Amino acid sequence: MSEIVVRLPDGSELSVAEDATVEDVAYEIGPGLGRDTVAGVVDGELVDKAAPVHDGAEIVIVTDQSDEYLRVLRHSAAHVFAQALQRLYPEAKLAIGPPTDEGFYYDVANVDLDAEDLEEIEAEMEEIIEEDLPIERELRPREEALETYEDNRYKREILEDEAAGEDPVSFYTQGDFEDLCKGPHVESTGDIGAVKLLNISSAFWRGDEDEDTLTRIYGTAFESESDLEEYLTLREEAQERDHRKLGQELDLFSIPDVTGPGLPLYHPNGKKILDELGDYARSLNLDAGYDPVETPHLFRTELWKKSGHYDNYVDDMFLMDVNDEEYGLKPMNCPGHATIFDQKSWSYRDLPVRYFEDGKVYRKEQRGELSGLSRVWSFTIDDGHLFCRPEQIEQEVNQVMEAIYEVLDTFDLDAHVALATRPEKSVGGDEIWEQAESQLRSVLENQGIDYDLEPGDGAFYGPKIDFAFEDALGRKWDGPTVQLDFNMPERFELSYTGEDNEDHRPVMIHRALYGSYERFFMVLIEHFDGKFPFWLAPEQVRVLPISDDQLGYAHRVKNELGDFRVSVEDRSWTLGRKIREAQEDRVPYMIVVGGDEEEAGTISVRDRKEREDQDVEIETFRAHLEDEYAEKRIEPDFLDE
């Protein structure tokens, strides 16, 4: 039998039989690993251990010690939920039930459920786990699968779309339950240590508002009860930090029904923070040699057809007819920047050319996908595009990544890095994509950066390096990105005159330091629990007069600190209440002034950690604030000295 060669995580190669599966590869590595194999990752995709491998495939073996194992376990927990549901409600029709980063969900129809029903279903799930039912994979003829789901339009559509052309198709069974599924799954229901159903909501079939409304049940699963308890504790803390809750309490933003879904309004407090973020990004851009540009919100769709966005984004665009011409709100800023570049002739000596813009863009997300500031219709990207010669790529990408790491350090955020490769829906030839992916991979490896591979997650015009922020609770959020694009310069016929006096195509690099202001603002609200660093805080100092007799002195103190965002608490409250109010508003510093302070011309300084120092010279405090602001320190530290 002929052989193929697969690549292992350490870079080594292994020869295996042409018809080998993931499990076969594991046994070739070692019998112990073969016995422990639960699933595999083939070219970045999580698959069943029975999945075939191909020549040149990159293989990762998944055991119960792997990072991917929890996702496999949660997928099996989704099946346990579906089995429990159908035991209690035989009339229920199953749609889809995938694992997620935090657990799983299952969409169901033909059953009336509410939150009170979850406890009974969860109890039945625990019974199924106790039964320790083997989870077994079966391959069945396509026609038999279609007959099985004769009365379930959702599973039939999955067979006709996602599983189009597959014959046979895979099912997983556990006891009296079966489900159409590609897997992978754990060996037995008993491998699931702990489950919890979290909440219930509605969802449109396939996310289409014109389709059936289904019931969606969210749950989670872990290997042990202690892991589940730890998760639930963090979840409770996350709910307290929820940016929608804090946004209302701190008067940062709102998304009222009257504005339309996903269209946030920023209140004065929120706008102050956004302005600080904008000023910081602008300083980084100017220091890196970017020139500011501005593009309109609306373009003729001729531009979007030229760039490729129309074919790839038309379903997510807001389109309108104006004087018998079709226009669209911009889903991205890059075509506008490419058009600016194209208005001028360039020499190789001029490159790189770098543009930046805080550009508002619009995406018509489904209403069910909108969530606070994390997913909106209108958002602002701290966008940058640079045009360079091919030999300048590594230097420019390195410069962008240095700026991204500076942002991460400034906000005390960790990040996970991933290389996202060509998606199924894309423009450009194979050679261009292979070249672009190879160059980004080279940058990451030359810098010694650990990264994950995200097959198929690139932009439609090029691969990208993605950074996911990790917040104080260990959650990951999409953030900065740097994208290599050989396609848009080709589509716009961009050129520069080379040293040989011939025309050449520049390479276009897309980058964002925050990702979008909206999502980054959301991350910061939750990461800091609303306790923003002094330089970002919408109200930096609040002066608290002990009595109305000191109101005049309080305002004089405010004026002495006039370069900062300072307010005076002039309500006739007790000092204790004034302090509590400032603490709840998460103001970094409070200045207490009474008769003694006024007489001495000094102040008493408190911070939100409830530390206090008396007899402070106003000039001393102001000098400290100037340093703390300039250095963008994370915590108020005047009282550390």
Q: Is residue 279 part of a domain?
A: yes
CB atoms within 10 A of CB 408: 18
Question: 345: closest CA among 129, 506, 150?
Answer: 506
Q: Has residue 112 got a pLDDT over 70?
A: yes
Mean pLDDT of 235-262: 91
Cis peptide before 168 (omega within 30 of 0): yes
pLDDT in the model for residue 110: 94
Do 224 and 264 belong together in one domain?
Answer: no
Choose between 433 and 84: higher pLDDT. Answer: 84
Using CB atoms within 10 A of its CB, is residue 597 exposed (0-12), middle (13-18) or buried (19+)?
A: buried
437 touches 402 (CB < 8 A): no
The predicted pLDDT at position 36 comes to: 94
Q: Given a cut of 80, is residue 360 above it in pLDDT?
A: yes
State residue 311's pLDDT score. Answer: 84
What is the number of H-type helices and E-type strands within the chain? 20, 32
Residue 368 has pLDDT above 70, yes or no: no
| Whether 322 and 431 share a structural domain | yes
Annotated binding-site residue numbers: 334, 385, 510
Q: What is the mean pLDDT of the chain?
A: 92
Residue 244 lies in a domain: no
Q: How many Cβ atoms from other residues are within 10 Å of residue 401's Cβ?
A: 20
Task: Sort strands 291-292 and 253-254 into parallel, antiparallel or unpaired.
Answer: unpaired
Question: Does any domain span residue 403?
Answer: yes
> What pLDDT was estimated at residue 329?
93
* 242 occurs within a structural domain: no
For the cut 80, the answer to whether the pLDDT of residue 66 exceeds it is yes
Q: How far apart are CA 357 and CA 384, in angstroms?
A: 6
Tell me the percentage of the chain whose pLDDT exceeds 90: 77
- The pLDDT assigned to 641 comes to 60
| pLDDT tens per residue across span 483-531 | 988 888 999 999 999 999 999 999 999 999 999 999 999 999 999 999 9
Note whether residue 80 is domain-resident: yes
- Both 298 and 367 in one domain: the answer is yes
Domain ends where: 28, 62, 96?
62
Using only the alpha carbons of the chain, give its radius of gyration. 29
Q: Is residue 288 domain-shared with residue 323, that is, in the same domain? A: yes
* Average pLDDT for 120-126: 97
In DSSP terms, 217 is beta-bridged to 106, 200
> Do 547 and 467 sit in the same domain of this protein?
no
609 phi, psi to nearest 5 deg: -90, 5
Bind-site residues for Zn(2+): 334, 385, 510
Last residue of a domain, one of 482, 503, 527: 527
549: domain CATH number is 3.40.50.800
Residue 111: give its domain's CATH number: 3.30.980.10
303/206 same-domain check: no
Q: How far is CA 543 from the centre of its chain?
A: 38
Q: Which of 245-254, 391-400, 430-439 has the lowest mean pLDDT?
A: 430-439
Structure tokens belonging to residue 592: 């207490």
User: What is d(CA 591, CA 586) in angstroms, rounded to the nearest whole number?
Assistant: 14
User: What is the residue-wise DSSP string for 154-217?
Assistant: HHHHHHHTTTTT-SSEEEEEETTEEEE------SBGGG--EEEEEEEEEEEGGG-TTS-EEEEE
Q: Has residue 366 got a pLDDT over 80? A: no
- Determine whether 280 is exposed, middle or buried from the number of CB atoms within 10 Å of its CB (0-12, 13-18, 19+): buried
Q: Does residue 130 surpass a pLDDT of 90?
A: yes
Here the CATH number for the domain that contains residue 24 is 3.10.20.30
Candidates 587, 596, 592, 545; CA nearest to 565 is 587
Asked if the model's pLDDT at residue 367 lies above 80, the reply is no
- Residues 50, 74: one domain? no
Give bridge partners of residue 602 from the DSSP assignment: 617
Going by pLDDT thresholds of 50, 70 and 90, the confidence category of residue 253 is very high
What confidence category does residue 312 fall into, taking pLDDT thresholds of 50, 70 and 90? Answer: confident
**CA atoms of 398 and 394, how far apart (whole Å):** 6
481 and 520 together in one domain? yes
pLDDT exceeds cutoff 80 at 428: no
Mean of the pLDDT values across residues 590-614? Answer: 95
**How much is the pLDDT for 433?**
84
Largest CA distance in the chain: 96
Residue 499, domain member (yes or no)? yes
Average pLDDT on 111-134 reads 96
H helical segments located in 354-466: 393-410, 430-446
Strands (E), 68-185: 93-94, 104-109, 136-140, 169-174, 177-180
Write out the two tokens for 589. 């510093």
More confident residue, 423 or 172: 172
Is 513 found in the same domain as 582? no
Domain presence at residue 315: yes
Q: Residue 574: which domain range?
A: 541-640
Distances (CA, A) of 592 to 250, 556, 604, 619, 636: 22, 13, 5, 16, 17
pLDDT digits 0-9 by tens, 218-229: 999 999 999 999
Span 451-466, average pLDDT = 87
Q: What is the pTM of this model?
A: 0.80
Residue 1 scores a pLDDT above 80: no
How many domains does one find in the chain? 4
In a domain, 535, yes or no: no
- Is 481 found in the same domain as 554? no
Backbone angles phi, psi at 524, to 5 degrees: -65, -40
**Does one domain contain both 289 and 427?**
yes
Shared-domain flag, residues 271 and 413 = yes
User: Any residues with CB less than 8 A from the CB of 32 and at least 6 apart, and which?
Assistant: none
Among 527, 552, 576, residue at a domain's last position = 527
Q: Is the pLDDT of residue 240 over 70?
A: yes
- Judge whether residue 336 has pLDDT over 90: yes
Of 477 and 84, the structure prediction assigns the larger pLDDT to 84
Chain centroid to CA 414:
13
